[in-house]
Amino acid sequence: MVTRLTLGTSLGLIAACGSNTDAADNTPVEPSRETRIKDLASDACDRYEECTGYGTGSNQTYASEAECEADFTNKAGTLWPEDKCGSGRINNSRYEMCTNAAKNVACGGGILDAITALSDCNAGQVCTDQPM
């Protein structure tokens, strides 16, 4: 004997077995302070490589990508202390402004670019969101 399940029977069986009532959480996850620092360093050093290139020449600040990323990571970590910038407090649009300023500095920007970057990247400007 062949048993045929209709759509109604199938739905009835599914309902009888219970269903998952947990709604999917589609809330974007706020990147951590450490991730933001790493991403900023990576973006700035990618820009440095495009503009200057790594090496030991007189116009080259960094001999390697690792050296560049360590420097930018250290600078961002100093500008964004955990107590002011942890727990999801980095504002995305201000982070993007800071990243752009850091890219300008990385591409051989002068003193005005450095001052702009310090202004755009300090914790008072970037870490403005409420803690999560």
Q: Write the CB contacts of 79 (distance below 8 Å, at least 6 apart in sequence).
A: 118, 121, 122, 123, 126
- Residue 8: how many CA atoms within 13 Å on its side-chain side? 0
Write down the pLDDT at residue 28: 67
Q: Which residues of 27-52 are buried (b: 16+ CB within 10 A; e: fewer)?
A: eeeeeebeebbbebbbbbbebbeeeb
Q: Where are the domains of the chain?
A: 33-126
Q: What is the mean pLDDT of the chain?
A: 84
Write down the pLDDT at residue 12: 44
Give percent of the chain with pLDDT exceeding 90.
69
pLDDT, tens digit, for every residue of 8-53?
Answer: 444 444 444 444 444 554 556 789 999 999 999 999 999 999 999 9
Q: What is the 3-state secondary structure (H, E, C) of 11-31?
A: HHHHHHCCCCCCCCCCCCCCC
DSSP 92-127: HHHHHHHHHHHHHHHTT--HHHHHHHHHHHSHHHH-
Query: Whole-model pTM?
Result: 0.76
Q: Is the per-residue pLDDT at 126 higher than 60? A: yes
> Dihedral of CA 62/94/112/80: which sign?
negative
Q: pLDDT-based confidence at 66, cuts 50/70/90?
A: very high
Q: Is the per-residue pLDDT at 124 higher than 90? A: yes
Write down the pLDDT at residue 17: 45
